[in-house]
Structure formats: C-alpha cells, structure tokens
Structure 1
C-alpha cells in the first residue's frame, strides 16, 4: 500500500490551524513540551493540527522560519504565521490560542 506524504506547505495551508513544534531530540525543554502537546491534542481534538519538526532532520525548514532557539512554536492559519514563541509553552496558553484561532 503506498502512502502519500503531505508536504509542509500543504499542511500549513490546510483548513484548520496548525501548531508546529520545532524541536530536537537532545533538547531538555523540548522533552518538557512533548507531554503538554499531548494534553493539548487530548483536550482540543480536531480543532488544531499539531506537527513536530525536528530541526536536526529538517534544517531547511528551520532556516526558512529562522529558528534560533528550541523549542519554538509557530501557529499557522491559512499558511500565515499568526503566533510564534520560543521556550516551553504552558497548556493554558496553547488552549487559548486554539480558542482564538481554531473557531
């Protein structure tokens, strides 16, 4: 069975908001962010799509979005950046963003 892989461009230009977590496996704060993102998806379901981008494996994307520190979160809506923040983000902040941009 063949599987088509969506491009990053297609993902961020989709119908729903997309929260992108730029991270690295060796990053301590990134490891703290992971369970918060899991809680977010458990709470908001299909209102937002969460995508993780490993900056070591996707250096082109990291350069394109000028990722200088990790974790960095970027929220896209209709392909446009509507929010961006570096550092570990608390669940209530992320939930607020989903409410604001996710309908």
Structure 2
C-alpha cells in the first residue's frame, strides 16, 4: 500500500472527514527531498495502515490548499485529526525520525 494522491476536489472527503489520523505530504515534482522521502512514507503507510492514512498533495497542482495551510517549504507533513491540523513536520527525514514524529498516531 502506498500513499495516495489527493487534490482540492478530494481533500475534504479523504482528509477532513476521515475517521483516522491522516498525514498529508505536501510535495512537488521538482523537489528532490520530496522524492527521497516518498518511499519512506509509503513504507509507513503500509506498516501502519490500520492506524493512519498517508496522502500526497502536489502543491503545484493544488496551490489553494498549499496557501490555506501556509506551506512555505517542502516537503511538509501535516497530521490531521478530526478535520484539524494537530501536528506539522517540515523537511525530509529518515524513517526512524519520521516514525518518532508520528509515534502518537501510529503506536
């Protein structure tokens, strides 16, 4: 299972109305660190599928959401729970560091 893409059209249903915590990966095609962290997110999505959803949002294709959530640097990850942002993580990190950041939602 890998992180699935969301858009401005699907964001409310996939993220804001989700029963589980959702990590939104704000990324762009041209961003090297974004591409580097992608397989790590896919692995976390697979290993913790019952506890958390991970989705990807392309900031170039969805500028309205990037602006709404004040994305100024990518990759940026926002954890949504009950339709609200409960945590923000900025920058590519190795898997153990990302799992530590997400420990409250995946353990």
| Shorter-chain TM band | 0.7 to 0.9
Query: Structure 1 pair 22/15, CA: closer, same or farther in 2 (3 Å)?
Result: same
In structure 1, the partner of 2:24 is 20
SS in 1 for 2:80: strand
Q: Is the Cα–Cα contact under 8 Å of residues 16 and 48 in structure 1 kept in the other structure?
A: yes
Q: Is the Cα–Cα contact under 8 Å of residues 59 and 66 in structure 2 kept in the other structure?
A: yes
Judging by fraction of residues, say which structure has more helix: 1
Higher-Rg structure is 1
Please list every run of 5 or more consecutive structure 2 residues that lacks an aligned counterpart in the other structure: 1-6
Q: Is the Cα–Cα contact under 8 Å of residues 77 and 88 in structure 2 kept in the other structure?
A: yes
Report the TM-score when normalising by structure 2: 0.81
Please list every run of 5 or more consecutive structure 1 residues that lacks an aligned counterpart in the other structure: none
Aligned-partner Cα distance in 2 for 1:21–1:88: 10
In structure 2, the partner of 1:58 is 62
1:47 alignment partner, one of 51, 56, 62: 51
Report the TM-score when normalising by structure 1: 0.84
Tell me how far 1:56 sits from its aligned partner.
0.4
CA RMSD of aligned residues (A): 2.0
Q: Is the Cα–Cα contact under 8 Å of residues 89 and 101 in structure 2 kept in the other structure?
A: no
**1:76 and 2:80 aligned:** yes
2:11 alignment partner, one of 8, 11, 16: 8
Residues 44-53 or 93-102, more deviating:
93-102
How many matched pairs? Answer: 99
